[in-house]
Amino acid sequence: MLLSAWRYRFFILSSIKTELHTKFIRSRLGGLWMILNPLSQVLIFAFVLSAVLSAKLPGTDNQYAYPIYLMAGILSWSLFAEIVNRCLTLFLENANILKKLVFPKIALPLIITGSALVNNALLFAAMLAIFGVLGHVPSTALIWLPALVAVNVALALGLGLALGVLNVFMRDIGQIVPVILQFLFWFTPIVYIANIIPEQYRTWLVFNPMIPIVTGYQNVLLYNRAPDWVGLGLIALIALALLAFSLLLFRKASPEIVDQL
């Protein structure tokens, strides 16, 4: 399956380019729309909440620490959420293509992942420009960012692909998952600091797989230090196991997917 994806690598790359081009072909702002939505979300949260939360950020005296903290969290979450949400309806939205064309089906989640990475890279570039305006320059800790992205993508793709396959056979999953993701967003310290959570509820945070990834982004981009490799390593192992399971599930269910569509 993976070898067939490699043989179709030029098809995958051209599909990513076509998808990005088609999405904004009649838009005057073009690719800027890919970053305006998450940036506007950051600005809203920063404007409404920074006066309350900025003084509570530990380990920094930067007056713009909270917006930077928020942007780092949004950067990691937007990549995860985009891959999961798009994989969730991947086969349903491409039913006609799957029925009419012969190509390795594994190419579809890879196209989505590539497109999400391009979107996230543009958002990251915009955030770096904003960091410069705010007078915050990330240090050499940025070298750890690719590792964080890799773990983030592996977790999102493993979860999204498994849910996408199951959604073909049980359509209720497509209705439940967005609600769970919304809950997971607010259960992750992106908009707030984990220290403000009451002590009796803080132990539940260990069950959130996104926390080591999000805090890793925040450590690298705000505090200029390496991620917590113990927590991140555990999530990396979980992500690899989930990715292997989703690929096995996809391979087993692949012959029945077209029939169900």
- Kindly state the DSSP code that residue 29 receives in the 8-state scheme: S
3-state helix, strand, coil in the chain (%, to 5): 80, 0, 20
SS3 at position 108: helix
> Residue 59 has what pLDDT?
61
d(CA 239, CA 39): 28
d(CA 77, CA 190): 8
Residues 6+ apart with CB under 8 A from 193: 53, 56, 57, 58
Per residue in 194-247, pLDDT (tens digit) is 888 888 888 888 889 999 999 999 999 988 889 999 999 999 999 999 999 999
> Residue 230 has what pLDDT?
92
State the CB neighbour count (10 A cutoff) for residue 54.
18
d(CA 23, CA 42): 23
Output the DSSP codes for 137-188. ---GGGGGHHHHHHHHHHHHHHHHHHHHHHHHH-TTHHHHHHHHHHHHHHTS
d(CA 35, CA 22): 17
Element (H, E) at 197: none
> Residue 32 has what pLDDT?
67
Q: How many residues are recorded in the chain?
A: 261
> Residue 50 has what pLDDT?
59
SS3 at position 257: helix
> Residue 240 has what pLDDT?
96
**pLDDT, one tens digit for every residue, the chain (261 residues):** 778 888 888 888 998 888 877 776 666 665 566 667 777 777 776 666 655 555 556 666 667 788 888 889 999 999 999 999 999 998 888 888 877 777 788 889 999 999 999 989 988 988 888 888 778 888 888 999 999 999 999 999 999 999 999 999 988 898 999 999 999 999 998 888 888 888 888 888 888 999 999 999 999 998 888 999 999 999 999 999 999 999 999 888 887 887 776
> Residue 87 has what pLDDT?
93
Query: What's the pTM?
Result: 0.88
CA separation, residue 31 to residues 119, 124, 128, 137, 205 (Å): 8, 13, 17, 25, 35
Delimit the domains of the chain by residue range: 2-260
